[in-house]
Amino acid sequence: MNKKFRLTLFVTGQTPRSERSIRNLQRICAEELQGTYEMTVIDVVEQPQLAEDLKILATPTLVKELPPPLRRVIGDLSDTEKVLLGLDISRVDGFNKETGK
User: CB atoms < 10 A from the CB of 30, how many?
Assistant: 11
Domain that holds residue 71: 53-101
Q: pLDDT of 79-96, one tens digit each?
A: 999 999 998 887 644 544
Cis peptide before 48 (omega within 30 of 0): no
Rounded to two decimals, what is the model's pTM? 0.85
Inside any domain, residue 31: no
Task: State the total domains in the chain.
Answer: 1
User: What is each CA distance from 59 to 12, 21, 36, 43, 46, in whole angstroms?
Assistant: 6, 10, 25, 9, 14
Q: Kindly state whether residue 59 falls inside one of the protein's structural domains.
A: yes
Supply the DSSP symbol for 58: S
92 belongs to a structural domain: yes
Residue 94 covered by a domain:
yes
**How many whole angstroms separate alpha carbon 67 and alpha carbon 64?**
7
In a domain, 36, yes or no: no
Tens of pLDDT along 7-28? 999 999 999 999 999 999 999 9
